Amino acid sequence: MPSVDFLFPYTELQVEDGLELRQIVLDDAAELFVTVDANRSYLREWLAWLDGTKNLEDETAFIASTLEDYVRGEGVLYGIRLDGDLVGTISLNWIDWGNRGCGVGYWLAEDQTGNGYATKSCVRLMEHCFDDLKLHRFVLEAATENFPSRAIAENLGMRLEGITKDREWLYDHYVDAALYAITAPEWRTRNQD
């Protein structure tokens, strides 16, 4: 695992003019909670963690846990910011340094979907993982019926590796998940075309 000093320079990643990824810190708790709360019914369709985020204290505790993961080199949570405003998040939910792999998760506010922001954010995070962190494998899991997230994986050239039965408990039922992945050599070859 790289030292924390290696990871710290990457708290902001420019995606394109006006769109950036900036690490979520405790000062972002109120803004993040307001964005989550305003999109709660929309996000609830595919995200199982909403019932654990009922108030600002819950959001603050969640951010504190992501910062602990970051210090340990086990993950990082970025805010997706459009012209400075928080419109969603993207994260490395896990990093396996021994095998040089990682898993991504993301969400956008409902009124920001359909603009390519999630795809562009994934591209920038993949570049960061492969070029800066020297990771080898990038994984995205989405519920089999979550067609927008699956389309992002497919548009990125990720390979469907299989379907995981009953992958996640989603409030009152299990959902299966499609597991997609791409390796650094596959990504570089795809981007040379």
Compute CA distances 157 → 116, 150, 153, 188, whole Å.
15, 11, 7, 11
Rounded Cα distance between 118 and 151, Å, is: 11
Rounded Cα distance between 25 and 34, Å, is: 15
Taking the whole predicted model, whether its pTM rises above 0.85 is answered as: yes
58-110 pLDDT, tens digit per residue, is 999 999 999 999 999 999 999 999 999 999 999 999 999 999 999 999 999 99
123-182 pLDDT, tens digit per residue, is 999 999 999 999 999 999 999 999 999 999 999 999 999 999 999 998 999 999 999 999
Q: Homologous superfamily of 4-136 in CATH? A: Gcn5-related N-acetyltransferase (GNAT) (3.40.630.30)
- Which token pair is 34? 């307001």
Identify the burial level of 35 via C-beta atoms within 10 angstroms of its C-beta, where 0-12 means exposed, 13-18 middle and 19 or more buried.
buried
